[in-house]
Amino acid sequence: MTTKLAIVTGASRGIGAAVARMLVDRSWTVVGIARSGAAFEHAGYHHITMDLALVATAPRSLHDALAPHIARATGRVGLVNNAALVGHLGPLVTADPTGVLELHAVNVVAPVWLMGEVVRSAPAPATVRIVNVSTGAAVGAYPGLGAYSMSKAALRMAGMSLASEWDDLATRKHKRSDAAILSYEPGLVDTDMQRESREQPTGEFPWDMFRGFARDKLLVPPERPAAEIVEFLESGKQKSFAERRLRD
């Protein structure tokens, strides 16, 4: 019988792959989701290959794939909303609306739906821990990152809103007995996302900032934030909502 289940989006590489690997090593069952295949093989790891943008229009297939795993998780259900697109890099006024829609489908709509799915479907006694992977750009504006920033700001607010409903008498019936959400800023992490950002051509936007992160050796390996995400998934009683960034 599975007792600890974690759903990790964006598990094919970067921070998500590090979280998934760490969890299976700690005897969690993990369901990872990404457009490409699994980063590793393990008896406790199940991979769903899908584009999370599809959740916006057809959530049923992901529900059907997740339901049997969630139903068995009587001890603890973790959700790590980690997958994200950077999307349009450049002036917000030139952003293509279709691209902005896709960005929001992946960065906001799918994670919000997944939070609901976990809260609705987790077995009654299970502890629920949700980590929404955020960024400093969710709370501060950076030229050229507007589309990404606003999607991450929306995800941060979605977590705060869900937690506020848990803390309100009228809506608390939707809360599991022990549930908590962390909005987590992983810091500057050495992944494809950073590489793609620093490979942008020099122009009117501060891409040099990203080149500087690598040049000045400010990037940390994905295992650093992954360990803090796992720590929250395994934590005891928490406030309904908290936010944190990578510890120094």
Ligand X SMILES: NC(=O)c1ccc[n+]([C@@H]2O[C@H](COP(=O)([O-])OP(=O)(O)OC[C@H]3O[C@@H](n4cnc5c(N)ncnc54)[C@H](OP(=O)(O)O)[C@@H]3O)[C@@H](O)[C@H]2O)c1
> By CB under 6 A, is residue 215 in contact with ligand X?
no
CA dist 119 and 165 (Å) reads 12
From the CB of residue 234, how many other CB atoms can be counted at a distance below 10 Å?
Answer: 16
Piece of 66-74, 77-85, 123-131, 169-177 that binds ligand X (CB under 6 A): 77-85
> Cβ 201 to ligand X, closest distance in Å?
19
- The gap between the terminal CA atoms of the chain, to the nearest Å, is 38
CA dist 128 and 100 (Å) reads 31
> Cβ 81 to ligand X, closest distance in Å?
8
Q: Which of 6, 23, 80, 83 touches ligand X by CB under 6 A?
A: 83
Binding pattern to ligand X, positions 160-199, x when CB under 6 A? --------------------------x-xx-xxxx-----
Nearer to ligand X, 147 or 193 (CB): 193
Backbone angles phi, psi at 230, to 5 degrees: -60, -40
User: CA distances (Å), 157 to each of 53, 84, 102, in order?
Assistant: 20, 16, 19
Nearer to ligand X, 8 or 163 (CB): 8
Q: Would you state the structure tokens that stand for residue 31, as one six-digit string?
A: 């369901």
Piece of 31-39, 87-95, 163-171, 200-208 that binds ligand X (CB under 6 A): 31-39
Binding pattern to ligand X, positions 104-133, x when CB under 6 A? --x--------------------------x
- Cα Rg for the chain, rounded, in angstroms? 18
CA dist 104 and 53 (Å) reads 8
CA dist 161 and 214 (Å) reads 35
**Total chain residues near ligand X (CB under 6 A):** 27
> By CB under 6 A, is residue 84 in contact with ligand X?
yes
CA dist 158 and 160 (Å) reads 5
Residues contributing to the site for ligand X (CB under 6 A): 10, 12-16, 33-36, 51-53, 82-85, 106, 133, 135, 186, 188-189, 191-194
